[in-house]
């Protein structure tokens, strides 16, 4: 008896080394998995920031230029229209030709390609704003072309071969750097311009406005409908087959791929009802259908969390069912519902696929003014830019992603804060 | 008046009606009569009857106006166009619309009667619908005003109307499902009229390019979707290879081993991964992961496509980790402590308890979680649209470029569409397959998880 028990004990003790090692290994796998997830997160953010941080600065050429009224053929009393038609581009070309003294047509073309098409606009805007500048020498920061921008920010001093500057251009650039003409400044254009084919002029204002309008439509529709549906299902719905069917539907819709909502928007909203495509209105309608399940599910959870004692007290004082719900349950559940709505909105903010189906991929230069103007949204803008071959667009894509992530972090933090602040323990 | 000013007008009337109704009820009460309901109920009743019918009418009008006007316009188009195909008619109608708003396209004298008819119609409908909406609102005010009496059961009526509104709101979810089904079914039905379902489901060549001219070679296009299904499956499989082990182990570590502090920070941090927009993952996959994989492969002497399935699958796996981990975390936490205590009592170590007791007990829930994750992977669009290719290769090599169902839907539907070409309709047929597959996966997964929860409740 003692013998066998001892031998069992020995067996167990012998096996303990192996079992402890297995235990340690298992634990290490777990820790490695969590670390892997966190590492991916850090890697993703690091990569985006690494690529995109430079999108917030823009290379400019600081130069003193004579706004030659004779060359432009306008005087100080010129109408705005005349100023708009004046050849500022030629003026700038003339100016740089005098500075650099290029030889031959090829060199001239190389030189002109280093200045952005937006530089002429800059001068024009300045003159429009203050016609007194005509005939004077002014110091301006003219926007450089995206290739110059990339070279100055990334490739200078390295023997990188992926820039598109040739030796002559690099020689001029080095001269300009010695004369302190090349500088970087905060990239305001990135935030105030719409989309453009020229990377140095492309901005996200159009996309941000489009996103805002789309989310506005989504919120105005999905919040009231979602709250109403949650109230009905939680407080009024009879327990029968119909209610069960509705519930199954909502749970399934929450997990249906988002692209199918785009198919619905295309076939029903656009083709049958004739809603204009590419607009925040149709985008908002599609995103409403997509976010509704999230809002309804979180809304129901919030209503469920209100203790029955509140309802019973209200009934005891003679309130009707409707009064109990709208005067007592709803105000108490509202913070939870708002949290769910913000999370739903954050989902809608990052959504791209269904919007591709309903034409929000159009190249839209103008900033949309209202919900029925053609527009695009931030995620779709990211998708569009990421397809562009220019290196400068890759930088801008990462910059736009940083802005998008910034919005998302703000919204999610707001949701968490709201929950912390308004959370009640019953 | 246009829609927004009409809506504002109705809202102002609605507010006025509320005050009117409430004051009338108060006036009745001040004469010494006992009201059945609170004065605000009478106000609310009046507001509801003033606002609801006109807004409903406005909604129906807004939805029905464009199709009806277009239908009326067809009669005014030249004979030759009316005889033509539906796309010709569509083209002519959009031309007429552009001419009517004076968009800078060249004048077409043969469309002149239609343009005049359109302008005339627009003017008339504008007067008609503003008139009808406003008079309906005023009618609501007048009728309810006359009905307000001391013994009128305003509260009951208001509450039953509100209840119906609440019911209608919850019905929208059902309508959405029906809408998705109807739209994909209808277009897919038309597609299967042109291409046999058998060819679609079992054909192995996918080249949806339909020739513009009839005499062009290869004009038929071929719609065998097997390469797409295989590509979707391959990428999802790669994603699950990453997500399932990592997600499951992370869930086990967080629920069984981690200290509360670690859990408090690591869990939300992992869930951030689920909140990052898929377009960001797509960018990451296409511009960071794919080049790295290609360089790695080339240094080992392997031919790696720059749009390899591996890059898309890997990044998709990263995206899905938090789905698996948080769902599994829930199920693992739902396993009663008594089962663990029993196992410890028999001398099992923690990992043995997890492997022999907790996981088997939680298995149905974990399977459900994995099914939900698979459905997510199949339906994911942006990562594959940006990082996977367009070439419909039938291959099991993860270093090759494959295409997926969602990528093809996007490519077929982005840009100009004609709704009678099989190319566009094919996207809806693919959508139907995608919807049905994910629906079945979700439905079964939700049932499994629900059943599992009930087991330990």
pLDDT range class, residue B68, cuts 50, 70, 90: confident
**Subunit contact A322:B163, Cβ cutoff 8 A:** yes
Instruction: Report pLDDT for A104.
Output: 79
Q: Is the pLDDT of residue B86 over 80?
A: no
Tokens of B191: 């597609």
Instruction: Report pLDDT for A26.
Output: 92
Instruction: Report pLDDT for A83.
Output: 75
CATH of domain B222-456: 1.10.3720.10
Closest approach of chain A CAs to the CA of B180, in angstroms?
5
Q: Are A264 and A285 in contact (CB under 8 A)?
A: no
Is residue B237 classed exposed, middle or buried when 0-12, 13-18 and 19+ CB atoms within 10 A define those classes?
A: middle
- Considering CB atoms only, which of B246, B406, B438 is closest to A37? B246
Instruction: Report pLDDT for A4.
Output: 57
**Subunit contact A225:B67, Cβ cutoff 8 A:** no
Is residue B37 classed exposed, middle or buried when 0-12, 13-18 and 19+ CB atoms within 10 A define those classes?
A: buried
Q: What average pLDDT does range B64-70 have in this prediction? A: 77
Instruction: Report pLDDT for B107.
Output: 65
Phi and psi at A165, nearest 5°, equal: -90, 135
CATH number among 3.10.20.30, 1.10.3720.10, 3.30.200.20, 3.50.50.60, domain A205-422:
1.10.3720.10
Instruction: Report pLDDT for A28.
Output: 93
Instruction: Report pLDDT for A54.
Output: 83
Distance CA B146, CA B222 (A): 68
* High-pLDDT (> 90) share of chain B, %: 15
* High-pLDDT (> 70) share of chain A, %: 96
Instruction: Report pLDDT for A118.
Output: 79
Instruction: Report pLDDT for B216.
Output: 52
Instruction: Report pLDDT for A129.
Output: 80
DSSP code of A144? B
- Domains in chain A: boundaries: 57-186, 205-422
Closest approach of chain B CAs to the CA of A137, in angstroms?
42
Interface test with chain A among B244, B264, B382, by most A beta carbons within 10 Å: B382
Q: What average pLDDT does range B92-98 have in this prediction? A: 74
pTM for this entry: 0.86
Closest approach of chain A CAs to the CA of B374, in angstroms?
11
- The more confident residue out of B415 and B263 is B263
Q: Is the pLDDT of residue B306 over 80?
A: no
Tell me the per-residue pLDDT of B154-205, one tens digit each, with 9 for 90 and over. Answer: 888 888 998 899 988 888 888 888 888 888 888 888 888 888 888 888 888 8
Closest approach of chain B CAs to the CA of A356, in angstroms?
6
Q: Is the pLDDT of residue B212 over 70?
A: no
Interface test with chain B among A12, A20, A25, A30, by most B beta carbons within 10 Å: A30
- Considering CB atoms only, which of B278, B351, B410 is closest to A26? B351
Distance CA A400, CA A55 (A): 9
Instruction: Report pLDDT for A1.
Output: 47
- Considering CB atoms only, which of B169, B246, B256 is closest to A225? B169
Rg of chain A over all Cα atoms, to the nearest angstrom = 31
Q: Are B333 and B251 in contact (CB under 8 A)?
A: no
Residue numbers of chain A with a pLDDT score lower than 70: 1-6, 157, 159-163, 423-426
Is residue B170 classed exposed, middle or buried when 0-12, 13-18 and 19+ CB atoms within 10 A define those classes?
A: buried
Q: Is the pLDDT of residue B213 over 60?
A: no
Instruction: Report pLDDT for B121.
Output: 81
Residue B53 CB neighbours (<10 A): 16
Distance CA B224, CA B198 (A): 9
Tell me the per-residue pLDDT of B309-337, one tens digit each, with 9 for 90 and over. Answer: 888 999 999 999 998 998 888 888 888 89
Q: Is the pLDDT of residue B379 over 70?
A: yes
**Subunit contact A255:B70, Cβ cutoff 8 A:** no
- Domains in chain B: boundaries: 3-152, 222-456
- Considering CB atoms only, which of A29, A252, A271 is closest to B439? A252
């Amino acid at each position: 008896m003692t013998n066998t028990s001892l031998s069992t004990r020995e067996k167990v003790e012998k096996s303990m080394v192996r079992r402890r090692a297995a235990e340690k290994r298992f634990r290490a796998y777990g820790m490695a998995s969590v670390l892997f997830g966190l590492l991916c997160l850090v890697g993703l953010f690091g990569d985006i920031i690494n690529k995109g941080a430079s999108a917030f600065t823009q290379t400019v050429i600081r130069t003193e230029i004579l706004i030659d009224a004779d060359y432009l053929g306008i005087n100080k009393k010129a109408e705005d229209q005349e100023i708009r038609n004046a050849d500022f581009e030629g003026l700038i070309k003339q100016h740089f030709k005098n500075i650099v003294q290029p030889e031959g047509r090829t060199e001239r073309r190389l030189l002109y390609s280093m200045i952005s098409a937006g530089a002429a606009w800059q001068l024009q805007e300045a003159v429009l704003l203050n016609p007194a500048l005509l005939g004077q020498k002014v110091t301006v920061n003219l926007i450089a072309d995206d290739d110059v921008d990339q070279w100055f920010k990334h490739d200078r001093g390295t023997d990188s071969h992926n820039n598109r500057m040739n030796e002559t251009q690099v020689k001029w650039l080095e001269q300009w750097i010695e004369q302190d003409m090349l500088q970087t400044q905060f990239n305001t254009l990135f935030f105030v311009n719409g989309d453009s084919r020229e990377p140095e002029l492309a901005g996200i204002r159009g996309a941000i406005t489009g996103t805002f309008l789309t989310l506005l439509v989504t919120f105005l529709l999905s919040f009231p409908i979602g709250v109403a549906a949650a109230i009905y299902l939680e407080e009024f719905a009879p327990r029968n087959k119909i209610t069960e069917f509705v519930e199954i539907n909502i749970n399934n819709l929450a997990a249906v791929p988002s692209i199918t909502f785009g198919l619905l928007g295309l076939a029903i909203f656009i083709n049958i009802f004739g809603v204009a495509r590419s607009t925040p209105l149709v985008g908002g309608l599609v995103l409403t259908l997509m976010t509704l399940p999230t809002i309804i599910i979180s809304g129901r959870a919030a209503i469920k969390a209100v203790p029955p004692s509140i309802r019973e007290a209200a009934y005891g004082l003679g309130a009707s069912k409707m009064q109990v719900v709208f005067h007592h349950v709803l105000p108490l559940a509202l913070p939870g519902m708002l949290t769910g709505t913000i999370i739903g909105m954050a989902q809608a903010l990052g959504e791209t696929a269904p919007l591709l189906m309903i034409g929000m991929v159009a190249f839209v230069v103008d900033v949309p003014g209202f919900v029925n103007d053609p527009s695009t949204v931030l995620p779709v803008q990211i998708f569009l830019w990421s397809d562009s071959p220019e290196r400068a667009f890759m930088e801008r894509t990462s910059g736009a992603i940083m802005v998008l992530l910034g919005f998302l972090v703000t919204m999610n933090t707001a949701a968490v804060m709201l929950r912390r602040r308004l959370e009640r323990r019953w | 008046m246009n829609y927004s000013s009409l809506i504002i007008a109705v809202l102002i009337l609605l507010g006025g009606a509320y005050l009117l109704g409430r004051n009338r009820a108060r006036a009745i009460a001040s004469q010494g009569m006992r009201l059945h309901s609170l004065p605000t109920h009478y106000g609310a009743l009046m507001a509801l009857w003033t606002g609801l019918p006109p807004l409903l009418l406005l909604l129906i009008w807004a939805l029905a106006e464009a199709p009806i006007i277009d239908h009326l316009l067809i009669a005014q188009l030249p004979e030759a166009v009316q005889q033509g195909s539906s796309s010709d008619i569509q083209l002519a109608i959009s031309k007429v619309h552009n001419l009517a708003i004076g968009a800078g396209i060249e004048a077409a004298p043969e469309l002149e009667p239609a343009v005049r008819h359109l302008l005339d119609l627009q003017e008339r409908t504008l007067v008609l619908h503003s008139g009808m909406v406003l008079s309906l609102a005023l009618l609501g005010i007048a009728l309810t005003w006359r009905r307000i009496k001391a013994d009128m059961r305003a509260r009951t009526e208001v509450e039953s109307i509100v209840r119906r509104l609440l019911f209608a709101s919850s019905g929208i979810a059902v309508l959405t499902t029906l809408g998705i089904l109807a739209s994909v079914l209808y277009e897919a039905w038309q597609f299967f009229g042109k291409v046999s379902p058998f060819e679609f489901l079992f054909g192995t060549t996918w080249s949806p390019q339909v020739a513009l001219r009839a005499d062009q070679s290869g004009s038929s296009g071929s719609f065998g979707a097997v390469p797409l299904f295989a590509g979707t499956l391959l990428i999802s499989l790669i994603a699950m290879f990453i997500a399932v082990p990592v997600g499951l182990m992370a869930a086990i570590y967080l629920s069984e081993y981690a200290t509360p502090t670690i859990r408090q920070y690591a869990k939300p941090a992992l869930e951030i991964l689920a909140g990052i927009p898929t377009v960001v993952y797509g960018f990451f996959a296409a511009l960071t992961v794919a080049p790295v994989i290609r360089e790695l492969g080339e240094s080992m002497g392997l031919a790696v496509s720059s749009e390899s399935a591996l890059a898309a699958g890997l990044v998709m796996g990263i995206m899905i980790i938090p789905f698996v981990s948080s769902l599994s975390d829930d199920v693992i936490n739902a396993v009663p402590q008594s089962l663990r205590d029993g196992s410890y009592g028999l001398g099992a170590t923690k990992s043995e308890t997890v492997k022999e007791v907790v996981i088997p007990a939680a298995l149905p829930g974990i399977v459900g979680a994995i099914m939900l994750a698979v459905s997510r992977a199949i339906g994911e669009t942006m990562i594959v649209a940006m990082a996977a290719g367009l070439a419909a290769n039938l291959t099991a090599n993860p270093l090759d470029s494959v295409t997926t169902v969602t990528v093809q839907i996007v490519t077929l539907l982005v840009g100009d569409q004609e709704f009678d070409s099989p190319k566009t309709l094919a996207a809806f047929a693919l959508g139907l397959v995608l919807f049905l597959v994910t629906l079945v996966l979700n439905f079964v997964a939700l049932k499994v998880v629900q059943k599992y929860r009930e087991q330990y409740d």
